[in-house]
A and B are shown apart, each in its own frame.
Chain A
């Protein structure tokens, strides 16, 4: 808009040109807000009325940040300052700024507003001869593009997951584990939530293989993996084959107490499979597991290596303690 040419060729006088410009601003298919140097709204186009539910008259003259106090201290405010004082434009991408303005699909009601429109925002300074700089905020609805990319990402993830699964058991492989632990660890840190890692090992598996043969050993791994993976209820939980007869479970937003309950349930579920193990040395000749638990507290993040190390040590404790049991190592 700042690059608009004066309408020298247009017929009529200044009033006509003003009316035309106003009509165009109200007809364009994007949100347009103009603020004066005191950040008061001097223009609020029809698109804004349709998607914000705030009429021209109600918006006109209001401080934008009084109208939308949630925008204070965020990117929108700093972009407005940047435009009014430094005369630099800013771009606020949808990916880094989740729907800053409370704008909804046209026809939404206060009772059922639905989700906010996905927004791409541009804030540009406007130089006006003889007056302080104003700024123009343009808001584009990018909901459709966002939905398209979500689909693209999901399909790419499906393709990727085919190279991310363990050939024998069908659960996630070690590579998948490495990627997921990194992702969940960062998410936990960002959101300030707990994160639990379980290391699960089938007891005396070498003796099982020696006694029943490798084919039977593979069958045992498949059954245990399927049974334990089937216990995970939330999409964010994941179980991976960590190596040989060792499995790892990533449980986001799970504290130490919840982790113990999950681990105990896993231990019992394994016994319930009632797979005979002549050399288990424990639990009446059935296949059993030992489980090491490490939980990173919500506000005390440690490194991924420390988390894995702690789970490993806890697993070792459980083994040394006689197997078919769980052990936890505190991390703080």
Chain B
């Protein structure tokens, strides 16, 4: 399995925390309330293992809501923000500030969820691209709902494809919600990522 050294891991966690910090600031501006987000940890795992991690909930086939965007350029990745379905209801309704007594997200709420995903994913990938001094282009977000396996395979990857999983904490008005951002990366993108992290560390050390 692909692995990072402790130093590389810490650098990447720091980069993503900058990214979600910006996303939280954008969302705070939208709702005029404090939104905080952090990435406590990241891990690399095979897609199948990632699906198991996400699926382990009350029951095996718990539904997950996902918002995905495709990025390409210096490297190519499918980025997916994922929350258990009940948590995505909670996030959207907290953000929109209006409770709808329905078990599923309505069409308008799905669009709001897409916007939330769009803000978070663009911030994460944008920070990564800026720090790596890379150019990337992104697609518009797409909303999915299904099992973790269905969502992670929506981009057509193999079960042994490596997924970079970010654990994210989203806090709004005393509600703390855990979710994930998955980056589906091929092997060349992974090695490129490692190289870029090391260049970033070298630059950071050089300036210190």
Contacts and interface: CB of A to CB of B under 8 A. Distances in A.
A93 B117 CA distance: 11
Contacts of A88: 122, 125-126, 136-138
B115 A93 contact: yes
Interface of B: 26, 29-33, 92, 95-102, 106-109, 111-112, 114-116, 118-119, 122, 125-126, 129-130, 135-141, 173
A91 B141 contact: yes
Given A95-B96, A97-B30, A90 B122 contact: yes
Contacts, number: 94
Contacts of B31: 96, 190
A145 B108 contact: yes
Given A95-B111, A97-B30, A157-B101, A89 B95 contact: no
A87 B137 contact: yes
Q: Is the interface of B mostly helix, strand, loop or mixed?
A: helix
Given A75-B30, A156-B100, A190-B33, A89 B140 contact: yes
Contacts of B116: 96
Contacts of A179: 99
A187 B118 contact: no
Contacts of B99: 179, 183
Contact of A92 (B100, B101, B115): B115
Interface in A64-86: 74-75, 78, 82, 86
Contacts of B173: 186
Contact of B140 (A122, A152, A157): A122
A78 B29 CA distance: 11
Contacts of A89: 118, 138-140
Contact of B101 (A146, A156, A190): A156
B120 to A, nearest CB: 12
A31 B146 CA distance: 33
Interface string A103-127: 0000000000000000010101101
A94 interface: yes
Interface of A: 74-75, 78, 82, 86-97, 120, 122, 124-125, 127, 142, 145-146, 149, 152-153, 156-157, 159-160, 179, 183, 186-187, 189-190
B97 A91 contact: no
A152 B106 contact: yes
Contacts of B100: 152-153, 156
B115 A87 contact: no
21 contacts: A75-B26, A75-B29, A82-B122, A86-B122, A86-B129, A86-B136, A88-B137, A89-B138, A89-B139, A90-B115, A91-B141, A92-B115, A93-B108, A95-B96, A125-B137, A145-B107, A145-B108, A153-B98, A179-B99, A186-B173, A190-B97
B134 to A, nearest CB: 11
Nearest to B107: A145
Given A183-B99, A190-B32, 18 more contacts: A82-B122, A86-B129, A86-B130, A87-B137, A88-B122, A88-B136, A90-B118, A91-B141, A95-B92, A95-B108, A95-B111, A96-B115, A96-B116, A127-B137, A142-B108, A152-B100, A153-B98, A156-B102
Contacts of A82: 122, 126
B163 to A, nearest CB: 21
B140 A124 contact: yes
Q: Which of B115, B122, B138 gathers most chain A CB within 10 Å?
A: B115
A315 B201 CA distance: 63
Given A96-B95, A153-B100, A190-B97, A91 B106 contact: no
Nearest to A192: B32
Nearest to B141: A91
Contacts of A91: 111, 114-115, 118, 140-141
Contacts of A142: 108
B112 A149 contact: no
A56 B101 CA distance: 44
A120 B111 contact: yes
A91 B32 CA distance: 19
Nearest to A159: B101
Contacts of B139: 89
